Amino acid sequence: CSCMRCHVTERAFSSIAQAGTRAGGATSILSYSPRALEEDAGAGQVFLTRSSHYWRPIKGTVSARHEDFIQSQITARGTVELRNITLPAGRKYRQFIMQSSGVDTVLAARQVERQCRLELGTLRVARKRRTAYGTTVQLLSATSETDLSDFEQGSGGIYIGPAPKFWLDEESRKSVGQRYTCVVRGVSAGREFVEERINAALKSGVANLWAPDKFGKAEIRTYELGARLLKGDHRGFIRLLVGANRDESSRTWEAYQAFQRGDLSACAVALPPKACSITTAVIMMLNKTGDAEAAMRAVPMSLRWSLKKAVDAYVWNQVAKFRLTSMLTEHAVEGDWVLLDGGSLTRVTSREARSKKYPLSRVLLPLCPTSEVEPQDYPLNAAAFAYTKARENLGLKDTHFKEAAERIGRQERNGESEQQQQQPLLYRPLVGFPTEVQWDLVTGPVGQPVVATDVVRNGLIGREGERWTIPPQEEGIWFYSMIVYY
């Protein structure tokens, strides 16, 4: 394409690729499948989408643990060709990402084992993960750190990346991405912004927020379901549960309309059993008994506890943002919980706070101090009041959390409750240091609004909820978005 917009985009891509190289390198591609470039773009790729009337994103990946940057060249058609690169000799890895491009996962794992002269069965199929760009990748895990420097370039679409690290989080060892958005003016400003923010994120860390989670395709957050569950608002819980799936198909929309009319029989018939088995079971129980609380019990207990943890995550995010934006300091303050070298916790004294003994990276925030199942202690400073404020935003009180076990239920197994058998996540670090940072620089049509996501440190974005709209006279405005993986 020879239009001015494509010309500007190509120059911007070249500049930002250079900025990414200076920022520290990117996750290496072990193998690459050209036919899956646009449909299944995986982690570690730098690419420009095909010409679009509305959006032309430029994307890339920078990793703190990898030295290689993916070299790229934009073709005349607006796609990207990637040059082959090799992994550093002797570098060991624990987790692998395979792009979903029609390649059998087990066969791909055996192929990697043969090429790297690994023992058969070293690589195991873990699970699928949805990336921040909406693509699906398959995770392979190794029993131990493995040397993959002998792997050769092929066409299987297999990628490699660092194993995610989560402290005290045994139940969800997965890479979670946080997206932050802000605006820059012009291509040169965008290049400088990318370089500055990536360096800041890798060096100083960012807010260690939980990724927002939606239930179904509707704009319903899991913490909204969890809040109704904890409050005992069973009918409100069921209403949200049915509405969460209403946009997935015509049948689910028909079921939602039937539920709104109060025709529970028609709602249960319309719901696809395979797609909405939990919702169907709830509606059938409600139609049978007329008891909303009994119907709610049709939701598996594991999911009910997951919804409670989603509420904990929402509250923690609000407290973390308050701690970083209102208590402005690069060190722990009096009353903070901090993590010591030996793995134990201690509370910061006034003398330690004045001497700035502990950096902000050692500060921990408890997840749910009011839970009787997982007891913790509040920080003894202003952050403690942020917990109450965050719960009030959901209409919750401390008593709702203390009564969680009674409302959600206890599952006995061999004389011991499931909650007692699990190792719960009690505290979470306030600041996270990313293992990977993905970015994109996007320009859009005049009048297209872009909304900021969360207030975080290092100036990654502006004020929360702030909206930017491209004025008619300034088509050169670009929107910058960063996704941080811990």
Q: Which is more confidently placed, 397 or 454?
A: 397
> What does DSSP say about strands 92-99 and 80-82: parallel, antiparallel, or unpaired?
unpaired
pLDDT for the residue 110: 75
Q: pLDDT above 70 covers what percent of the chain?
A: 44
pTM for the whole structure: 0.56
Q: How far apart are CA 470 and CA 443, in angstroms?
A: 9
Instruction: Please calculate the CA angle 334-336-338 and round it to the nearest 5 degrees.
Output: 120
Bridge partners (DSSP) listed for residue 481: 181, 440
Least confident among 32-36, 186-190, 298-302: 32-36
Provide DSSP, 140-195.
Answer: EEEEEEEE-TT----SS-EEEEPPP--TT--S--S--EEEEEEEEESHHHHHHHHH
What's the average model confidence in pLDDT over 321-348? 83
- Where does the pLDDT of residue 326 fall: very low under 50, low under 70, confident under 90, or very high at 90 and above? confident
- Of residues 22 and 356, which shows the higher confidence score? 356
- DSSP 3-state assignment of 270? helix
Cβ contact 385:214 at 8 Å: no
Q: What is the pLDDT of residue 485?
A: 53
Percent of the chain exceeding pLDDT 90 equals 3
**pLDDT greater at residue 343 or residue 240:** 240
| 47 has a pLDDT exceeding 70 | no
Task: Return mean pLDDT, the chain.
Answer: 61
- Can you say whether residue 459 is alpha, beta or left, with left for phi > 0 and alpha for psi between -120 and 50 degrees? left
How many CB atoms are closer than 10 A to CB 99? 29
Which stretch of 38-52, 378-392, 463-477 has the lowest confidence by average pLDDT? 38-52
Neighbouring C-beta atoms of residue 471, cutoff 10 Å: 10
Q: What is the pLDDT of residue 208?
A: 76
> What does the pLDDT look like over 91-133, one tens digit per residue?
666 666 665 444 466 666 777 777 778 888 787 776 666 554 4
Q: Which of 43-47, 78-82, 391-395 has the highest mean pLDDT?
A: 391-395
The larger pLDDT score, comparing residue 265 to residue 227, is at 227
Would you state the pLDDT for residue 442?
52
Task: Report residue 454's pLDDT band, with 50, 70 and 90 as the boundaries.
Answer: very low
Give residue 434's pLDDT. Answer: 66
Higher pLDDT: 289 or 152? It is 289
Chain-centre distance for alpha carbon 246: 24
- Convert the pLDDT of each residue in 350-373 to its tens digit: 999 999 999 888 888 888 776 655
Q: What is the per-residue pLDDT for 348?
A: 92
Spell out the domain ranges in the chain.
4-205+433-485, 225-299, 309-430
Pick the CATH number of 309-430 from 3.30.2340, 1.10.3470, 3.20.20, 1.25.40: 3.30.2340
Q: Which of 69-83, 283-297, 325-339, 464-478 has the lowest mean pLDDT?
A: 69-83
Q: 5: how many CB neighbours lie within 10 A of its CB?
A: 12
CA distance 323 to 172: 25
Confidence of residue 137 (pLDDT cuts 50, 70, 90): low
| 104 C-beta neighbours (distance < 10 Å), count | 11
* Residue 336 near residue 347 (C-beta atoms within 8 A): yes
pLDDT tens-digit map of 160-205: 554 333 223 333 333 344 555 555 555 555 556 666 766 776 677 7
Q: What is the pLDDT of residue 66?
A: 30
> What pLDDT is stored for residue 355 in this prediction?
92
Which has more confidence, 128 or 321? 321
Does 23 score more than 70 pLDDT? no
The pLDDT, as a whole number, for residue 184 is: 52
Residues 152, 30: Cα–Cα separation, whole Å = 7
pLDDT at 422 over 60: no
